[in-house]
Amino acid sequence: MTQFPSQIDCGDFEMIKLTQTFENATRLYELVDKNRGFLGRWLTWVDKTQQPEDEFNVLGLIERPNTPAYFIRVDGRIAGAIDAYNESVRDSSIDLGYWLGHEFTGRGIMTRAARVMSGLLFDRGINRIVIQAATANTSSIAVATRLGFMREGILRAAQQIRPGEFYDLISFSKLKSEWEKDKNNA
């Protein structure tokens, strides 16, 4: 089973697997609650996060060393998260998701975190990483674009945020061979 490091220093931020405590759950909940309108526009789980206890199980999942997921911490404060999910072992493919609190956007943090996470995944044998974002979510689209992910197409009405509220998703992917070529040309 693949093990992921518990902490990665990225200079002005770190990617970390926080321990499953109610103190950390409360901090995470406070960030989500403060950014409810900003995050809830794109992420289905935000409306379901109603109390710190809702974040406690999330902490337990991310804390596991075999889970490709991290919290992003800036100046000692939780700023967001990045994780890989929907792994297809047969196809050697995985989806990449991420979010940041509004006050932490515009600094290139998520682009750098996604670059680090992509490297971890490709180094562990993944062949294809997929990023999907609502077509109006320009920030998430910009991360995929800056990292050289290839636009594959539009999935019509593919994400339901709330009952009757559907968004088209744009799908991007990057292959391990493209990653290695980019790495060698850097």
Average pLDDT along the chain, 186 residues, taken 10 residues at a time: 89 95 94 96 94 90 90 97 93 96 97 97 96 97 97 97 94 97 82
3: helix, coil or strand? coil
Q: What is the pLDDT of residue 61?
A: 86
Ramachandran class of 170: left when φ > 0, alpha when ψ lies in -120 to 50, beta otherwise:
beta
* Tens-digit pLDDT profile for residues 43-83: 999 999 999 999 998 898 888 888 999 999 999 999 999 99
Q: For position 14, what pLDDT does the model report? A: 98
Q: Which domains does the chain have, with CATH numbers?
A: 7-185 (3.40.630.30)
Contact 117, 67 (CB under 8 A): no
